[in-house]
Structure formats: C-alpha cells, structure tokens
Amino acid sequence: MKALVYIAPEQLELRDVPDPTPVSGEHLIRVDSVGICGSDMHAYLGHDERRPAPLILGHEVAGTVLGGPRDGERVTVNPLVTCGTCPACKAGRDNLCPKRQIISMMPREGGFAQLLAMPEGNLVAIPDGVSTDCAALAEPIACGWHAVRLARAATGQAGNALVLGGGAIGLGAALSLVAQGVADVTIIEPNETRRAYLAQKTSFNCIAPDALAADQLFDLVIDGVGYAATRAQASAHARPGGVIAHIGLGESSGGLDIRRMTLQEITFIGTYTYTAQDFRDTAQAIFDGRLGPLDWTEPRALAQGQAAFADIRSGMAAAPKIILKPN
C-alpha cells in the first residue's frame, strides 16, 4: 500500500509499505479520509519524542471495512485502543488506561495510508448521507466534547465561554459548547487568514488576542492550544469560581497565574482525548446535525501531504482542518 511516512523533522515521503495484517478481533479498513492533527504537526516538527521517525502518522480516520461480516460498511475510527479490564476502563475513563495505545504511535502505525487494521470495538458505523470527511472529524471534535463535559460538570451552569485557538480542536470545542447548552462563545484566533475564514463559515465571535477587553471574564475557558501565552490569557479571563479546561499540548510549562487562580478559586482541568462514550456521543452529534454542517475542511490527496504540512506550518492554510485522501 501507499503511505505517507514521517522520515525526519519537516520531511514526509510517500512510500510503498506492507499492508497491515488484522489480528483476531480486528478489521481491515480502506482509509477514505484522514485529518492532519496538531499532534501530527508536533511530530512533523520533531517535537514529539513519542513519535520517532520513521513512522506513519495520522489518527483522525474514516473509511470502509474490507472483508468479513461488515464488508463495505463505512466507519469512523476511535484511534485509542485500551485494555478494557483496568480500573480506569471499568470506571468508564478508558482514555486514562495505563496500557492505552493510539494509532500514529508505536506499536500502532497511523492512518496516513491506504489501509489500516483496527479492533471491532473502535469502529462506529457512518449512516447514509454523512461523508467520510465529516465523520473523520469525530476524533478532533471529541477532544472538545470531552473537555466541555468535564468543565460543565465542574462549574454547573455556564453563561459564556472563551475558546483559545480557532483550529479544529478549538472550533470543535466551540461547537461542543453550543451543543451542550452554552450559547455565548468567543473564539480567540491570532491568524488573520483563519479568522476571516471562520467569520465566513461560522457564526462565532472570532477575534484577535489583543481585541479581548482586559476586564472581560468567562465562566469557562478552553485552551485548545496549550502555550504559555494562551495559559496566561486563560488565567486572566476566567471569572472567580470559573473553570479552565486545558486540551492543547503546545508546550509543557509557563503561563498560569497560580496566585490569581488560588485567590479566585479557579478550577484547572487537564483533559486528555476522550472516553469511548465521548467518541460515540460526538459521532452521533455529527450524524444528527447538532454540530452544524462541518463544511470547514479542505481535502487534499495523500500525495500532497508534504505540501499540506508545509502550508499549515507557514500559516497559509485557512481551513481549520485539512483532510488527506489516500484512495
């Protein structure tokens, strides 16, 4: 099969690699749509020691089952493979399974390829009328869905929310906020090209970082970026008694105003991916249309993957999500 292989920092190469061989309980999937994630960008830049080259990246996958009793069925793929038996899994917090694996990180190669093997329990059927491009968004949006669920549980009723970052994670969080009952949402996005794109494609108030009034406070703040600068902004704009939900993994330290958070009893929640139930709930919200038309993706051929990464790196990609098409 053809696969886009990460071979060195800022270098991807389209290669012929062996087809995956499903083990017992797994299905072979033809990859029809696979999104480029921020974590793929971290690896591409050489910033993720968990993803050393050479490696097939990509974990936002939708495709078609080949062979077996589900032959021809279109599915979206939960990329987290967990043990199902540990205390975290039994408690419904399988995203915290100590034995968890994720495709695009060894020992499981990723979805920037024509074929992928995944367990039966990780597949969610796509109904007629929903494209695989939309269904592939279940994974990035589920990160925001999970963060919103945890944040709302911590804060109770939330009247407004601030989302830092207008990429797929931030936009997915904004859509999840609305779907879960928080209608007043502001998105901070520094890239002018993307702000203009979001203004055209969505109804959110999307503004530059310096356009936010210093005294404007929010019940919920979701950091979809995870840099010191965004954490500083989150610390400054969470209301007393509010909640910061931190999704982004941009850099590991700096930015939090611990003194203000302590004096104002601001709750900080680190949120990692999603549970299997969050993934299913997000997929169903996509299928039901509760997350809107999801028409903010840009499809490109897998062979154009290197150029797509370069465009994202340079800030030239306006769309929050580029979807690669391997087949």
Distance, CA of 267 to CA of 262 (rounded, Å): 9
Confidence (pLDDT) at 29: 98
**CATH no. for 141-270:** 3.40.50.720
Q: Which CATH number fits domain 2-137+294-325: 3.90.180.10, 2.60.40.730, 1.10.287.130, 3.40.50.2000?
A: 3.90.180.10
- Express each pLDDT in 87-108 by its tens digit: 999 999 999 999 999 999 999 9
Confidence (pLDDT) at 250: 87
Looking from the CA of 188 toward its CB, the CA atoms found within 13 Å total 22
Task: Please report the DSSP string for 30-87 in residue order.
Answer: EEEEEEPPHHHHHHHTT--TTSPSSEE---EEEEEEESSTTTT-EEEE--EE--S-SH
* Cβ proximity of 322 and 35 under 8 Å: yes
Beta bridge partners of 299: 323
The one-digit pLDDT tens for each residue of the chain (327 residues) are 999 999 999 999 999 999 999 999 999 999 999 999 999 999 999 988 999 999 999 999 999 999 999 999 999 999 999 999 999 999 999 999 999 999 999 999 999 999 999 999 999 999 999 999 999 999 999 999 999 999 999 988 889 999 999 999 999 999 999 999 999 999 999 999 999 999 999 999 999 999 999 999 999 999 999 999 999 999 999 999 999 999 998 888 999 999 999 999 999 999 999 999 999 999 999 999 999 999 999 999 999 999 999 999 999 999 999 999 999
Centre a 10 Å sphere on the Cβ of residue 278 and count the other Cβ atoms it contains. 26
Q: Which of these, 10, 60, 137, lies nearest to 326 by C-alpha position?
A: 60
Confidence (pLDDT) at 157: 80
Give, rounded to a whole angstrom, the gap between the first and last alpha carbons of the chain: 10
Instruction: Map out the domains of the chain as residue ranges.
Output: 2-137+294-325, 141-270
Confidence (pLDDT) at 75: 98
Task: Please report the DSSP string for 232-264 in residue order.
Answer: HHHHHHEEEEEEEEE---S-SS----HHHHHHT
Give yes or no on whether 2-137+294-325 and 141-270 have one common fold.
no
